[in-house]
A and B are shown apart, each in its own frame.
Chain A
Amino acid sequence: MTFKYNNVYINETGTVTGPYEASGPLSKYFDKGYKDFYFGLPTWEQAESKSIEDAVDIVLNKTNRTKFDIDLFISGDLLNQTAASNIAASSLGVPYFGVYNACATSVEGLILASNMIEAKQIKNCITCASAHNNASEKQFRYPVEYGGPKPKTTTFTTTGAAAAFLSYNKKGIRIESATVGSVVDSGVKDAFHMGAVMAPAAAQTIYRHLLETKREADYYDLILTGDLGRYGKNILRECINTEYGITLKNYDDTACMIFDLDNQPVYAGASGPACAPLVTYGYIFSLMKKKELKRVLLVATGALHSQSTVNQKLSIPSIAHAISLEVIE
């Protein structure tokens, strides 16, 4: 399912990060970075909510708007019942959709907002995706202070929130089209190997997007997946080549960009709903504004597992949504 948009633009973005991202290679592209995991609050869950509120505030300031000017707020995160987004939405007090597609949440939000703006149902929308390393470790894995050994394929959840202000005003970055992915069962059951879980979903969505838009892979200056990690990246390259005959040349993965993989303790790279939008809104948009990149296909990938289904030895379903971003000519 691919949608074409004529009049949808990401006017402004707001990016807030935690300590590891703020000391990573892309730190200068983010609006705000915290030095610890609590952000001055008692719990990690509250800290995650605060990162969403901060990102939204930054967007409102950049666009000279107040919350009363916002038609719709779409947000999602990794916590049970998308708790961080719900709390942030309650303090914002505008019409709200809570969404969940794990690490594909950001693009899911962008697609929903774009469709409503294109259909003129709303004038504008703020979409947001967030994650918190410690809060999600607590929920999905072991206690943070436990620190047990993990395999090399483990990914490290990004801390932070990334918000985007979308409207039909021609400013910023254009959203040209989007492809909604379907859920893929790759047969992988290992929750410590997310790259392997999500690579088939990414391959399928990229293939469908190119097929339905009648494009070749090199139409895009960059195809960016978020977030397969350093091993998942190679799996995708091989998988998409053997299965669909597509060779990825201008390709990268956000998991390998936000951290310094060799010098930060992040195993196979970053993960979490905030990773792809943080890299895209911060670093990629700055390259697009300088016209170094003109067309970018962002493919956000999500592993849709719960701890219970993993313990029940069920294979992990995964999804990928693609969105085509263009420089305004």
Chain B
Amino acid sequence: MEKNKYKEVVNRHTPKENVLYNTMIAFFVGGLMGLLGQLLIDAYSYYFSIPTNQASIFMIVTLIFVGCLLTCLGFFDKWVHACKCGLIVPITGFAHAMMSAALEYRKEGLVTGIGANMFKLAGSVIIFGVVSAYVFGLLRLILFGC
């Protein structure tokens, strides 16, 4: 069978993903995570009497810790699965990606296992995060001069 014709057959029998439903779930869960982060920032800056930029660092550390802990407890993957991209895109997803890879390779040694594989998924987040921060920072400097 010709490849184009076969592609049509495959498409006919392939179920459509429910994009709208998945997006809405990701939107609401992601939004809730944002709300949680903002509440944490407010709470830290109120109770510890620290400026907002310091409180936001505390918030990030808290969410990373909670994300890693939940991954280690073994049920965060089910939440991630149910929430589509709602938990992966925020900072909890970054922590979860690192911790799940570390758990997977923990029996293969500290250096060759955990060290070499921990950033298997998270590595690209760091690389493209840094590159895009640089590019957008530069754009801001050129366009707005600050």
Contact among A144, A151, A193, A238 for B104, CB-based, below 8 A: A144
Contact with B along A130-159 (1 / 0, CB 8 A): 000000001000111111110111000000
> With an 8 A cutoff between CB atoms, is B140 at the interface?
no
Q: Which of B1, B13, B88, B120 contacts A234 (CB 8 A)?
A: B13
Nearest B-chain residue to A144, judged by Cβ: B104
A245 at the interface (CB under 8 A from B): no
A43 in the interface, Cβ–Cβ < 8 Å?
yes
Smallest CB–CB gap between B99 and chain A, Å?
7
Do B97 and A243 touch across chains, with their CB atoms under 8 A apart? no
Shortest A10–chain B CB gap in Å is 33
Tell whether, in the assembled complex, residue B104 and residue A138 are in contact, meaning their CB atoms are under 8 Å apart. yes
Question: Judging by beta carbons under 8 Å apart, are B88 and A231 in contact?
Answer: no
Q: Is B1 within 8 A of A200, CB to CB?
A: yes
A145 in contact with B76 given A153-B15, A231-B15 (CB within 8 Å): yes
A235 on the B face (CB < 8 A):
yes
Most buried by B among A42, A148, A153, A235: A148
Residues of A within 8 A of B112 (CB): none
Asked if A60 CB lies within 8 Å of chain B CBs, one says no
Q: Which residues in B have their C-beta under 8 angstroms from that of A242?
A: 1, 9
Q: Which of A43, A147, A239 has the most CB of B within 10 A?
A: A147
Once A186-B3, A187-B3 are accepted as A-B contacts, the answer to whether A143 and B13 lie under 8 Å apart by CB is no
Q: Once the chains bind, are B14 and A145 in contact (CB under 8 Å)? A: no
Q: How far is the CB of B10 from chain A (nearest CB, A)?
A: 4
Shortest beta-carbon distance from A41 to chain B in Å: 10
From A186, A187, A231, contact of B13 by CB (8 A): A231
B interface footprint on A221-246 (CB within 8 Å = 1, 0 otherwise): 00000000001001100110011000
- Asked if A188 is an interface residue, CB under 8 A from chain B, the answer is yes
Residue A111 interfacial (CB < 8 Å): no
Among residues of A, the one whose C-beta sits closest to the C-beta of B11 is: A196
Chain A residue nearest in CB terms to B1: A243
Interface 1/0 per residue, B94-137 and A, CB below 8 Å = 00110111011001000000000000110000000000000000
Q: Select which of B1, B71, B80, B99 is within 8 A of A148 by beta carbon.
A: B80
List A144-197 residues whose CB lies under 8 Å from chain B.
144-149, 151-153, 186-188, 193, 196
Determine whether the beta carbon of A149 is less than 8 Å from that of B22.
Answer: yes
CA distance A196 to B11 in the complex (A): 9
Whether B13 contacts A238 by the Cβ 8 Å rule is yes
How many whole Å from B30's CB to the nearest CB in chain A?
13
* B-contacting residues, A236-268, CB 8 Å: 238-239, 242-243
Interface residues of chain B: helix, strand, loop or mixed (majority):
helix
Total chain A interface residues with beta-carbon distance under 8 A = 27
Cβ contact within 8 Å between A145 and B103:
yes
- From residue 43 to 101 of chain B, which have CB atoms closer than 8 A to chain A? 71, 74, 76-78, 80-81, 84-85, 88, 96-97, 99-101
Interchain CB contact under 8 A, A149 and B101: no
Q: Is the CB of A146 within 8 A of B121?
A: yes
Chain A minimum-CB-distance residue to B15: A152
B107 to A151, Cβ gap below 8 A?
Answer: no
| Interface residue from B9, B80, B85 paired with A238 (Cβ < 8 Å) | B9
Docked pose: A243 CA to B88 CA in angstroms: 43
B79 to A, closest residue via Cβ:
A147
In Å, the complex CA distance between A152 and B120 comes to 25
In the assembly, what is the distance between CA of A146 and CA of B96, in Å? 7
Most B Cβ at <10 Å: residue of A146, A235, A242: A146
Q: B6 at interface (Cβ–Cβ under 8 A)?
A: yes
User: Which chain B residue has the least Cβ–Cβ distance from A151?
Assistant: B17
Contacts of B71 in A (CB 8 A): 145
Contact B103 A193 (CB under 8 A): no
Residues of B within 8 A of A42 (CB): 107
Q: Which B residues lie within 8 Å of A238 (CB)?
A: 9, 12-13
Q: B residues within 8 Å of A by Cβ?
A: 1, 3, 6-7, 9-10, 12-15, 17, 22, 71, 74, 76-78, 80-81, 84-85, 88, 96-97, 99-101, 103-104, 107, 120-121
Q: What are 25 A-B pairs at a CB distance below 8 A? A: A42-B107, A142-B121, A143-B100, A143-B101, A143-B103, A144-B100, A144-B104, A145-B74, A145-B76, A145-B77, A145-B100, A146-B121, A148-B81, A148-B88, A149-B22, A149-B80, A153-B15, A187-B7, A188-B10, A193-B10, A193-B14, A200-B6, A239-B1, A239-B6, A243-B1
